[in-house]
Each structure stands twice: as structure tokens, then as C-alpha cells.
Structure 1
Amino acid sequence: MNTAELTALLDRLRAEPRETEWLEFKANRHEPQVLGEYLSALANSACLLGKPRAYLVFGIEDGSHAVVGTTFDPHAETGKGRQLLSLWLSLGLHPNAGFETHIFTYQGKRVVLFEVHPAFDRPVHFYGKAYVRDGTSKTELAKYPEKERAIWHRRVDWSAQICEQATLDDLDPRAIAKARAEFTAKSPTQAAAVAAWDDTTFLNKAKLTIRGAVTNAALLLLGHPESTTLIAPAVTRITWLLKNERNEELDYQHFGPPLLLNVDAVLACIRNLTVRELPEGTLFPVELTQYDPWVIREALHNCIAHQDYGLRGRIQVVETPGALLLTNVGGFLPGSVEAVIEQDAPLEIYRNPFLAEAMVNLNMIDTQGGGIKRMFQKQRQRFFPMPDYDLSEPERVKLTLRGRVLDERYTRMLMARTDLDLRLIILLDKVQKRQCISTDDSKRLKAASLVEGRYPNLLVAGRVAAAVGEKARHIRDRGLDGQYYEDMVVALVREHQPVARADIDRLLLDKLPEVLTPEQKLNRIHNLLRKLAETGLIVNRGSRRWPKWIPADARHPAGKSKETNGSKR
């Protein structure tokens, strides 16, 4: 806002009869901690009252609303740890709904105005604690559970909000033309009507505008690149990164509105190479691209539709030689991927319902939902690894699409079997990737004779491995007979006594099952030595910390004790 707009705003605020839950006046500065608490309280109260903004003004006297000016300079102050105040405040607010700081001269006096965005579908905390306004007082939100519940349930659809400063001139004509074409492709029976509609009518029909008013969704999908300033602090950016095998960044590019056009620009950056090193035979194609274009597009459209724009994060597409990693901020609303896969009726849950409906109308996502399940089915049809969803972070979804065959020739064979359902194939895919599955899922795979081994160190069953030429790897994964390892240790001890634990480790580590972790291998060796000692085959002449193993019968050679053997007292 310019000075004239800020002056007009402050005139309106001072005209309020008194401070409110969304408005606070202060004569001069406050401690950084208290200032952060006020930002949290005002954001939460603005959400409860349905206000588009809340305000904290320094330089205006409380009660009389007299203009007294302030010496407070938020750009010169620091927070705890000597961080710049604005950075320290931003890091402490979670989620950071956004705030802007305006410093200007009003009636000849210096004033500082904080413009605070409302909380968005969850309370705003400041360094772990949420606050709220009770009348004109600031207090902890935890004291008002009904207000906290109201914030959680007051899910405001950011995408449906009107951008007051935007007009149709802020929309890209090329994007509107593309939207018309996609709308017609989605609803071919309306082609003649679409052609006759003017832009205002079409955008209303496509659910991008509301009675001609431009929404955040319209700016996101159709806006000029510079329209991002109109919907700040929300971040409407997709970043493509290219990295090599050493995770070094080789190239990058940023894409903003209009996303309806720029999704294709992102896809054009991805080097969708042809994979030629596939198993021989006629069952599988000789050449395949690394990624199915539909799968990438669906994954990227899901990121756009489910992004939590209130968290001010960006969508990322990271390309490595063998995979694509797509991330968006915001929790995974269905809860689990399994719920999506197993649900007979697809889950139709969107964080941004207005945006999602517009994307349906523009042929970007399926009106019936089920896009995630179809992605798995597409990968199954191509005999490529299943998509990997990482939901370990509460406010971030990570999806990995692998564009390279791992060691899963057996998985391809299983995929060719029509008697296996998709859920079973996904479990087998996790096993071949060394990912943990539940004990119930392990029992299910074992009942079908598809895996063997002791949970959680499962491996593909021997008969399956033999069918796909993985016999050698199967033996390496399973390991050899226990007696084989015992005989090796006893032979080493007899030949080279005394033998240290490090010598035994060097003998066995590369021979134990490859499916075990290094720690599990060391534990296996420890248990083996304990068993040999208990059965009387070897003994420890050293200490527990520094063992020296010898054969058990070496303690009494020629029938003499160690003390009298070849020595005199």
C-alpha cells in the first residue's frame, strides 16, 4: 500500500469507537516476545471474527486514539539470539499466516502498522503457544477451548476468497483461451455455448470467478506472472531442480501463474529419458520412457490442488538421474495412501474445494477422484516401481516417482499375474525396496508364499526369485546355513588362535545375509559366538571388552593346566 492508502486505512481504524479483538493501539514499542504474542492473538481473533485482516498500530494512544508517534523501528530491532526482529517473529509463528509491516508518517508523526493475516484452518502459535484476544486483552488460547475448536472448524477456503484488488485485466488472455479449450474438451456438448460466452460469463461458468469478481483460484491458474503480488503472502510458485548422483544442483527454474500454462513448462524441463536396459524376452517392452507423462501431470496437479497456501511454501519438483521427488506443503487429508487405494468409492477430499472444482472444469483433475489409485495402476501396467509417498512430516507430502528399474525383475513377473490385487503388489514393491511393512501385511504375504525370512527382514520367496532369474541374489539375501558360519569360526580359531572379535567380523560380515543392516549383522555374530561358547567349542581368554578366542581344548594341552604347562614355580 502507498502512503495515501495507509493514511486512509489508519483514518478508518482510528474512527473505531474502541479497541477490538482485531485491533490494538500502542503508544510505543513492546518487547519482542510480547509483540509475537500479539501477532498470534490478532491472527486467531481475526479468524474467529471472519475479518480479512487484524491490525497492531504503534504511535496511536489507546483510549483517546491520539496520534503520539513512536520511536519503535522493527527493522532495527532484534529478537532473541540477536536475529533480526522480522525474521525471529516469522520463525516463531506457526503456521505463519503472514503479516506486513508499514512505517509511514501520519499527521506529522511516525507510526508503525502491522497488518496481520487471519489464521487459516488452525490456530497460529508463537514459539509453541497460541494466544487470542478476550475483549481488549491478550490471553492464552488454551484457556478458551471453544474458541480453539472454532478455529479448527472454521476452515476457510483460501482459493474461493475474492482478491479485492484484482480485475479481469490481471488474467492472461492466453490462459483464458487455454481454459476455454479445456472446458470444451471436458464438456463437448457445450462447445457452441462456450464459443458464444464472453470472458466474464465463461469464467463464472467455469467456477473461476464469482459474479465477475476475481478469486485467488483464478489468479493462480490464469493470472499474469506479476499477479502473485496480489495474493501475497501466499506463495504460488513451482520450482524445478535438477540434481546429479551426488545431490549437487545442476539447474533450476521457477514457475508462477498462470499455472494452467506453466504445468506444461515444468513437464518440458523434465528429461524423460528412454530406458533400454530391460530384461530380455517378449513379455515386456524393450523400450520405455522413465516416467508416464500422465502420472507426472496428475502428481503435479494434486500438489496444486492440495497445497496449503496459508503455509507460504512452494511446490518443488526435484529431478535426479533415477527419480522425481514432488513435494507440497500441507498434511495428507485422506490420512493414509492405503485408505485411498482400498476405498471402493474414491475419497473426494480437497483442501481448496473451489480450486479443485475449477481444475475439474478445466480438465486438470478427474471429477470422480481416484487419481492416486490410477497412478499406482499406471505404474503397474508399465512394470515400474510403485509411487512412494512419504508422510512422515505433518505439514508436508513427498512423492517419489522412480524412473529406473531397481532389482525388481521378480516384481515385474508378479505384476504380470492377474491373480494378485493392487494392494498385494504394493506390499511386494515395499519388500523389494527394503521398506518396513506391518506384521499383518507380512503374514498376508507369507500366507501367499510370496516372501520368506524373519520379520522385519523379509525377502522375496525362493520360488519367486527362481522364476525371474534372481537365484543368486536370493541366496545372498537369505544367507547360508547356520552350521556353515559356526564351522568357519571354529576353523579360524583353531588355525590362528587367539582370535580377536575384529578378525571374526572380517571373516563373516560379507557372508551374512545382505538383507540385514550392519548393526543386525554384528548382533548375529555376537549371538553366534555366545552359542559356540555355551556349547564348549571356543572360550574367551581375554576380557569381555577385548575378547581373545581360543579352542576350548587348548586350555589343557597334553593334560596340563595353563599354570603348570611348560613352566616352573
Structure 2
Amino acid sequence: MKSKMELTERLHRLISAWESEVVEFKQADNNFKTSELGHYFSALANEANLRGIESAWLVFGVNNKTRTICGTNYKPKPEHLMALKNDVRAGLEPSMTFREIHEIELPEGRVLLFEIPPAPAGMPIGWNGFRYARSGESLCALDIEKEDRIRAQSSKEEWAAGIASNATMSDLSPEALQRARQIFSKNNTSRFSEEEIEQWQDIDFLQRLGLLRDNQITNAALLLLGRPESAVLLNPHPAQITWKLESTESAYQHYGPPFLLNTSIIYQRIRNIKIRLLPANELIGEDVSKYDQKVVLEGLHNAIAHQDYRQNARVILTEFTDTLSIENEGTFYEGDPSLYIEGRKTPRRYRNTFLVKAMAQLGMIDTMGYGIHRMYRKQAARSFPLPDYNLSDNNAVQLTLYGKIVDPAYTRLLLQHTEIPLNDVMALDRIQKGLPADDRIVARLRKAKWIEGRKPNLHISAEVAAATESKAAYIRTRAQDDTFYEKLIIDYLNQYNRASRTEIDQLLLSKLSDGLTEAQKTNKVRNLLTRLRIEKKIHNIGSRGKPSWALLKSNDI
């Protein structure tokens, strides 16, 4: 995070240079449409790409005519600015967001500097299906010439396809080569016999895998099959996967080539204890691993395949107490993750085409877009929470895998109803995590009596809760009848004669539904007291600022 001094200096330099294809100033007193924000993001990101600069800037709080700082009241709460990142990300394709939203308070007023990263190489940025650019200081459509210039970047040689300088066959791991032959033989039984594959020279085998160029070792070959010490030939790009433990204990270890073997070794490093699932009305539980090997390796192999190696960063797998996080550099390359989750998207291109083809030959990934779909189905079949894909603030892709039960009712529901469609499972999963879900699916789940409550406070229904033995959790989220709470107040006043608002809060807040926010609980108590006062059951014998409530006797009326 830049300091206030650095940001102030940056602001004054931008104002001095004034607007260009990569800088835009807006006064934005109170409001600015998110759609307009998306238009400018698209245009500025595309122009930053074409000019090869690190960041473009959209600045709020500067008068466009006088070129002076005037301040802005746009989204004054920090949480609203953070939510804006997700709002903008949802409309952009490929998915990305602001590198940072910098906020500085100056004597002249509050200023927001939206730092916009350049569009990825070969991929112009669009907003809701339309791509924008700049003509001087004006916003316009991205013309054919500019789009072709951005698209042409993808034809440049990808890093994985590059020839590894000074690498020879001796830099490859014999164990990895042998394992690659076994996998290739298993996957090509209709084309080649096992004996035929064993007779191939290593150089012939690598040619069939597509890991050589002009009979020379490529970066991709070293990544997948190289000896550990061969990683030095890939510098400055750190060909590493880092495993980190962040729990009651801390530890880490870096793993280099050969990735074909080391991803399985990393999986074995994870503390993968058994969890017992107990279906309803059954006495014998089912023991399952916290993390399924195929799911973890699918996520890890995807990170290797889609890593932007030119960013000189590692793939990082972080093990927390009950979750795994797998993070790789680079935005989601084509389309939205939800399309792959549903199995409706087949990618047309890849960031690392050369590497992806070889990994597909070795059975490490699926090139038709079904790998992520299978990963989600596998988690649903295990009755575990579904994975989450997110784009971090630095535009890295982050996959979260859950190794715990979030809501027992959800888990038991899946154990009993294995026929639930994946879209419905995804909606139930979002509901158990307290996230919004599609309105149409919510209506269907409500009709099936699997969920209840009012948005955004949805939860597993009483019927399901009873069937899945999660009644206690259901009671905590279900709202009691107002009469119940009013009786608590009356009984309290009968015993103690009077009560302050603080004492009333202490009496009721812990008993209100966990489905309510703190603000909603506070409003609920206020409404209860108002109703009792209107019904002439209680009255305030204190002041307006410091009320003291007592029962209203007949002689008080």
C-alpha cells in the first residue's frame, strides 16, 4: 500500500500532465454509475496494454474544468469501496478488477484514485459484451485496428514453449520420464502397445508428447519432467510450487520440477485426516478424507497450466486448519469460472497452449473444460461444501477447497438426495455459506421446502433440519413469534420493576434469530418496545435519551 505522501505526489503529477488515453478525472460528487465505471475500466485497461504501461488511472474528486481538487463523497464507507471491486469484476471479461482503490484525505477534500491494470496480453477487456478505448480524452468503442494489435500479442511465443537455454536430455528426471511413459501407454492403448512405447528413444517419446522444438528441450519439458536441479535453467522464472502451513503450527517447503511427480508428493504433505459422516437414521458412519486426491490435484494442475510464468511468481498452496487455498498468477484466462463449473464452457485458447497440450497427454488436465465441473461434482458427491473460485486484489486466481462441514443439514441433505442437480447443490452451498443465490433456484428450493427465511437471511428449512438432526442450529436461525419476546419483557419487568434499554438488549439480543444482522436485531428490540407502549402495557419513566421502562398499571393511565 502506497503512503499518503506517495499518493499525493502521484495525484499532483497526474493533474499536472492532465487527461490522456490512460488518465481520466471525474468530479463524482455523490454518485457515479457502476456501468460508467465499467466503461472507463475497459477503455483505460485496453489503452494501458497498448502503451505498455503498468497502470492506468481513474480519479474522483477533481474538477474537470478548473483542474482543481474539489473532493468527492462517492461511496464514503470502506466496505462499499471493497464491494465495488466485486461489482466491477462481475461485468468485465476476462474477469479482473482494480489493482487498488486508493483513498486520500486532503485539505481540499477526499480523493479516490482507481488504479487499473493493463489488459492481459492478447485479451482486450470488455464490459458487458462491449469493448471500449480512448480517443484523446474521449471514451469510444475499441476500433478494429486497436483490437487487432492487442489480439496479435497472443501470437507471440509463450514462455512455456520457449527453448530452455543449454538444457539437454540429461537435465530430465529418469523417474519422471518412466512415469510419463506409463501414463501415455495407459491413455493410448488403442494406438500403441506398451512394448512399442518402451522401445522409443527418450527424444522420440518427447516429440510425441510435444515437449521438444527443433529437437531441443523446452521450458515446458523442464517444468513437467526436469530434474530438481534443472530449475536453474528456467531463471528468472521461479519454477516452484510452495506448500505453506498456516494453522496452530507454521511451516513451508518449495517444490520444483518435475511437476509430474511432485504434485502428488505435495498432496501427501497435506494433513488429510478422516471425517465421519453419519447419514440420517443410520448407526454406522462413513469415513471420508478431508480432501479428495483427485480434487486437490485437479486444482493444483489447473494452477500449473494457467500460471502466468512471465510474472516471475510461484504457485502457492496454503493449508489452513480446515481449508486449502491454491493461488496462481494471472486472471481467469477465458470466460467466467461459473461457466466451467456448470460444464457449459469449452475454452478456445489457453495462456500456455504448449504446456496444456503436454499436460493433457499425461492425463494431468482436461482440455474440454470439464475438469472444474468434475471437481465440483466430486465435492457434491462427497457431501462437502463446494470449492470457491475468486480473483484476488492482485488479479491472481484463488481456489478454496473445504475440508470441514459448514452446515450439517446441507451435508445430510446431499447424503439423502444424491439426485439433486448440480445447480441446486451450488445454490444450497451458497446459502449455507451465507452468500446470495440465484432467485429462480431459490424459489425452486423454497417450493421443495428445503430452505426458508427471507433474503438475505436464508437457511435450511425446519423440515430438513428435523430430518437431518440439526434442530438446534435451526432454532438459532429461526425467528420466534413476537409474542414470545414480548412475554420475556413483561416477565422481566414484573420481577425487577424497571429496565433500561441496555438491560432490555441484554435480555433479548442473544435470543433473537442468528439469521438477523446486529442492526436488524437492534431495530427488532426497538419495534417490540414501541408496540408494547402503543398497546399501553409499558411506559417510559426515564428520559427520552435514557429511557427506563416499567409496566403500565391501571392507575398510571
TM value normalised by structure 2: 0.69
1:405 corresponds to which residue? 405
2:187 corresponds to which residue? 186
2:238 pairs with 1:235: yes
Q: Check conservation: 1:157, 1:352, Cα contact below 8 A.
A: no
1:365 corresponds to which residue? 365
2:390 pairs with 1:390: yes
2:473 pairs with 1:473: yes
1:296 corresponds to which residue? 296
Query: How many Å separate the matches in 1 of 2:159 and 2:444?
Result: 43
Query: How many Å separate the matches in 1 of 2:201 and 2:455?
Result: 64
Q: Check conservation: 2:318, 2:325, Cα contact below 8 A.
A: yes
1:287 corresponds to which residue? 287
Query: How many Å separate the matches in 1 of 2:283 and 2:386?
Result: 19
After superposition, what is the alpha-carbon deviation per residue over 1:325-364, rounded to whole angstroms, capped at 9, x for unaligned?
A: 2222222245444322334465565332221111001111
What code does the residue aligned with 1:300 have?
L
Query: How many Å separate the matches in 1 of 2:280 and 2:465?
Result: 16
2:352 corresponds to which residue? 352
Assess, with a 3 A threshold, how the Cα gap between structure 1 residues 120 and 214 changes in structure 2: closer, same or farther: farther
After TM superposition, give the deviation of residue 482 of structure 1 in Å. 1.3
Query: How many Å separate the matches in 2 of 1:270 and 1:544?
Result: 59
After TM superposition, give the deviation of residue 484 of structure 1 in Å. 0.8
Q: Check conservation: 1:431, 1:458, Cα contact below 8 A.
A: yes
* Alignment of structure 1 residues 79-90 onto 2, 5 Å: none
Query: How many Å separate the matches in 1 of 2:200 and 2:505?
Result: 78
State which of 203, 206, 209 in structure 2 corresponds to 1:203.
206
1:54 corresponds to which residue? none
Q: Check conservation: 1:347, 1:370, Cα contact below 8 A.
A: no
2:454 corresponds to which residue? 454
* Alignment of structure 1 residues 60-71 onto 2, 5 Å: none
After superposition, what is the alpha-carbon deviation per residue over 1:255-291, rounded to whole angstroms, capped at 9, x for unaligned?
A: 1122112112211211221224645754975322222
After TM superposition, give the deviation of residue 48 of structure 1 in Å. 7.4
1:225 corresponds to which residue? 228
After TM superposition, give the deviation of residue 254 of structure 1 in Å. 0.7
Assess, with a 3 A threshold, how the Cα gap between structure 1 residues 149 and 511 changes in structure 2: closer, same or farther: same
After TM superposition, give the deviation of residue 421 of structure 1 in Å. 0.8
After TM superposition, give the deviation of residue 239 of structure 1 in Å. 1.0
* Alignment of structure 1 residues 540-559 onto 2, 5 Å: 540-553=540-553, 557=556
2:29 corresponds to which residue? none
After TM superposition, give the deviation of residue 49 of structure 1 in Å. 12
SS in structure 2 at match of 1:510:
helix
Q: Check conservation: 1:122, 1:151, Cα contact below 8 A.
A: no
Count of equivalent residues: 439
2:261 corresponds to which residue? 261
2:517 corresponds to which residue? 517
Query: How many Å separate the matches in 2 of 1:96 and 1:312?
Result: 17
Query: How many Å separate the matches in 1 of 2:421 and 2:537?
Result: 50
1:89 corresponds to which residue? none
Query: How many Å separate the matches in 1 of 2:463 and 2:513?
Result: 18
2:76 corresponds to which residue? none
Assess, with a 3 A threshold, how the Cα gap between structure 1 residues 375 and 542 changes in structure 2: closer, same or farther: same
Query: How many Å separate the matches in 1 of 2:397 and 2:268?
Result: 23
Query: How many Å separate the matches in 2 of 1:140 and 1:148?
Result: 16
Query: How many Å separate the matches in 2 of 1:49 and 1:510?
Result: 57
Q: Check conservation: 1:158, 1:309, Cα contact below 8 A.
A: no
Q: Check conservation: 1:538, 1:549, Cα contact below 8 A.
A: yes
After superposition, what is the alpha-carbon deviation per residue over 1:222-265, rounded to whole angstroms, capped at 9, x for unaligned?
A: 22334434433433221111232xxx542211111221121122
What code does the residue aligned with 1:232 have?
N
Of 272-281 and 199-208, the range deviating more from structure 2? 272-281
2:186 pairs with 1:177: no
1:436 corresponds to which residue? 436
Q: Check conservation: 1:453, 1:459, Cα contact below 8 A.
A: yes
Of 449-458 and 402-411, the range deviating more from structure 2? 402-411
Identity %: 38
SS in structure 2 at match of 1:287:
strand
Query: How many Å separate the matches in 1 of 2:343 and 2:329?
Result: 24
After superposition, what is the alpha-carbon deviation per residue over 1:281-331, rounded to whole angstroms, capped at 9, x for unaligned?
A: 549753222222111111111111122223333222222332222222222
After TM superposition, give the deviation of residue 442 of structure 1 in Å. 2.3
Q: Check conservation: 2:343, 2:369, Cα contact below 8 A.
A: no
Query: How many Å separate the matches in 2 of 1:295 and 1:503?
Result: 51
Query: How many Å separate the matches in 1 of 2:392 and 2:245?
Result: 24
Query: How many Å separate the matches in 2 of 1:417 and 1:313?
Result: 43
Query: How many Å separate the matches in 2 of 1:496 and 1:49?
Result: 74
SS in structure 1 at match of 2:264:
helix
Query: How many Å separate the matches in 2 of 1:284 and 1:221?
Result: 43
After TM superposition, give the deviation of residue 451 of structure 1 in Å. 0.6
After TM superposition, give the deviation of residue 456 of structure 1 in Å. 0.9
What code does the residue aligned with 1:425 have?
V
SS in structure 1 at match of 2:437:
coil
After TM superposition, give the deviation of residue 516 of structure 1 in Å. 2.5
Query: How many Å separate the matches in 2 of 1:272 and 1:220?
Result: 27
1:213 corresponds to which residue? 216
Q: Check conservation: 1:48, 1:150, Cα contact below 8 A.
A: no
2:309 corresponds to which residue? 309
Q: Check conservation: 1:380, 1:415, Cα contact below 8 A.
A: no
What code does the residue aligned with 1:479 have?
A
What code does the residue aligned with 1:486 have?
E
Of 337-346 and 440-449, the range deviating more from structure 2? 337-346
Q: Check conservation: 1:141, 1:148, Cα contact below 8 A.
A: no
Of 535-544 and 318-327, the range deviating more from structure 2? 535-544
What code does the residue aligned with 2:158 have?
W
Query: How many Å separate the matches in 1 of 2:334 and 2:532?
Result: 52
What code does the residue aligned with 2:182 have?
A
Query: How many Å separate the matches in 1 of 2:544 and 2:349?
Result: 59
What code does the residue aligned with 1:203 have?
L
1:339 corresponds to which residue? 339
Larger Rg: 1
Q: Check conservation: 1:180, 1:194, Cα contact below 8 A.
A: yes
Q: Check conservation: 1:175, 1:261, Cα contact below 8 A.
A: yes
Q: Check conservation: 1:411, 1:429, Cα contact below 8 A.
A: no
Query: How many Å separate the matches in 1 of 2:252 and 2:408?
Result: 31
Q: Check conservation: 2:279, 2:416, Cα contact below 8 A.
A: no
Query: How many Å separate the matches in 1 of 2:207 and 2:544?
Result: 79
SS in structure 2 at match of 1:400:
strand
Q: Check conservation: 1:477, 1:515, Cα contact below 8 A.
A: yes
Q: Check conservation: 2:159, 2:310, Cα contact below 8 A.
A: no
Q: Check conservation: 2:450, 2:460, Cα contact below 8 A.
A: yes
What code does the residue aligned with 1:224 have?
R
SS in structure 2 at match of 1:546:
coil
After superposition, what is the alpha-carbon deviation per residue over 1:428-459, rounded to whole angstroms, capped at 9, x for unaligned?
A: 12222333324333223212221111111011
Over the aligned positions, Cα root-mean-square deviation in angstroms equals 3.8
After TM superposition, give the deviation of residue 504 of structure 1 in Å. 1.0
